[in-house]
Amino acid sequence: MDTKIVRIDDSNHDEVICEAGRILRDGGLVAFPTETVYGLGGDALREDAARKIYSAKGRPSDNPLIVHIADVSDLEVLAKDIPQSAYKLAESFWPGPLTMILNKKDIVPYGTTGGLETVAIRMPSHPVAAGLIKSSGIYVAAPSANLSGRPSPTKAEHVIEDMQGRIDMIIDAGAIEIGIESTIVDLTVPVPMILRPGYITADMIRDVLGDVCYDRTVLTHSITKDKPKAPGMKYRHYAPKADLTIFEGDNAKVVARINELAGQHVRAGHRVGILSSSENAGLYTAGDVVIVGSRRDEHEIAAHLFDVLRHFDHINVDVILSEGFNEDSFGQAVMNRLIKAAGHHIEHVG
């Protein structure tokens, strides 16, 4: 399949959105930017479009898709038994990086929800995403536009790498601002439950609803037998090709341990990638050091994390040694992704 790749700007904005909307209405697939990561869109109410999304991504079909809407009133078309908490969250955080799980209406096919009676709904704020959903006149099912298991795309180049030849169109709007996927909160349970941490933190949700809890698999750093409530969270994810280990503990000891292991690997003829903060980058004595951001700025780390993981693939490292980062507020979502990318390999030093 020929994939049309278009760079969108002020001069062609309406024209591109119009063409992409037509493709979606015809049951085709379009990758487009959102404020979190690039999404791979298809008509959420058509089983055939949903099937195409799974096949383009190589995604297991029990891993449900998030449905993107352009107006809060669309909630009632797609979901039933909607609690007041949904409207409160929508008022505070929509449009924006928050996904709500609600009981689905019959109109939403099981092909989109991975066979579940619930549906995940989000209203994105990125002007291209919002414009596309509005102008297409449909609800857009859109998982991240990466091949299943690979790091989510935060630049059009990442989407092109994974999706060229597999979908109808890619809209290139440059680098994405947030860089990790939406927060998912389940509103079908008595106490709202965070299934996936993201930019909207538990504290922010608590400020609005008073109470919120976590699916316990979000908080466990080791692999447990528990099944996460968001089916997608059980799969190996965000993974670079090389084995990645995270080193946590006293900063000086972390740097020393990474230097010790990097030296050993280099002597054994391996190519070593080091995922470093800007503060520590000058302290490493071996390996390819790649800066992900400042230790003090989890937003900067989030914005670069998936790009850095893909970079390690491009330079063909054999092993990746990574610093661990602060897990406060948005840092929790960042570390959740890094820990998954590491397949839960964490070494505590000092």
Residue 132's binding partner out of Mg ion, ligand AMP, none, with CB under 5 to 8 Å set by partner kind: none
Q: Which residues make Cβ contacts (< 8 Å) with residue 273, sequence separation at least 6?
A: 242, 287, 288, 290, 312, 315, 317, 319, 320, 321
**H-type helices in the chain, by residue range?**
13-25, 47-57, 75-78, 84-93, 110-113, 127-136, 156-163, 202-209, 216-219, 251-267, 298-314, 330-341
Span interacting with ligand AMP, options 3-11, 58-66, 241-249, 333-341, rule CB under 6 A: 58-66
In angstroms, give the least distance from the CB of 143 to ligand AMP: 3
**Exactly one of 78, 187, 195, 302 binds ligand AMP (CB under 6 A); which one?**
195
How would you classify residue 261: left for phi > 0, otherwise alpha for psi between -120 and 50, otherwise beta? alpha
Token representation of residue 310: 């893909």
Would you count residue 36 as binding Mg ion (CB under 5 A)? no
Would you count residue 338 as binding ligand AMP (CB under 6 A)? no
Name the closest residue to Mg ion (Cβ): 144
Would you count residue 198 as binding ligand AMP (CB under 6 A)? no
Residue 99 or 276: the one with the smaller Cβ distance to Mg ion is 99
Crossing angle for the helix pair 298-314 and 156-163, to the nearest 10 degrees:
40
For residue 293, the cross-strand partners are: 277
Nearest-angstrom CA–CA distance, 34 and 197: 17
Neighbours of 172 (CB within 10 A): 20
Span interacting with ligand AMP, options 115-123, 271-279, 285-293, 306-314, rule CB under 6 A: 115-123
User: Could you please report the per-residue DSSP string of 63-117?
Assistant: SPPEEE-SSGGGHHHHEES--HHHHHHHHHH-SSSEEEEEEEPTTS-HHHHTT-S
Would you count residue 144 as binding Mg ion (CB under 5 A)? yes
Residue 113's binding partner out of Mg ion, ligand AMP, none, with CB under 5 to 8 Å set by partner kind: ligand AMP
End-to-end alpha carbon distance in the chain: 53
Distance, C-alpha 86 to centroid of its chain: 22
Q: How many residues bind ligand AMP (CB under 6 A)?
A: 21
Residue 144 or 183: the one with the smaller Cβ distance to Mg ion is 144
Do residues 97 and 178 touch, judged by C-beta distance below 8 A? Answer: yes
In angstroms, give the least distance from the CB of 33 to ligand AMP: 14
Question: What DSSP designation does 238 have?
Answer: S
Residue 140's binding partner out of ligand AMP, Mg ion, none, with CB under 5 to 8 Å set by partner kind: none
Please report how many Cα atoms fall inside a 13 Å half-sphere around the Cα of residue 260, on the Cβ side: 8
**Exactly one of 119, 180, 239, 258 binds ligand AMP (CB under 6 A); which one?**
119
Residue 120's binding partner out of ligand AMP, Mg ion, none, with CB under 5 to 8 Å set by partner kind: ligand AMP
Distance, C-alpha 226 to centroid of its chain: 22
Cis peptide, bond prior to residue 190, ω within 30 of zero: no
**Exactly one of 233, 261, 274, 341 binds ligand AMP (CB under 6 A); which one?**
233
Q: How many residues bind Mg ion (CB under 5 A)?
A: 1
Would you count residue 143 as binding ligand AMP (CB under 6 A)? yes
Do residues 167 and 18 touch, judged by C-beta distance below 8 A? Answer: no
Residue 194 or 317: the one with the smaller Cβ distance to ligand AMP is 194
**Exactly one of 56, 184, 200, 239 binds ligand AMP (CB under 6 A); which one?**
184
In angstroms, give the least distance from the CB of 133 to ligand AMP: 15
Residue 29 or 262: the one with the smaller Cβ distance to ligand AMP is 29
In angstroms, give the least distance from the CB of 116 to ligand AMP: 5
Which residues make up the interface to Mg ion (CB under 5 A)? 144
Which residues make up the interface to ligand AMP (CB under 6 A)? 63-66, 101, 113, 116, 118-120, 143-144, 181, 184, 195-196, 229-233
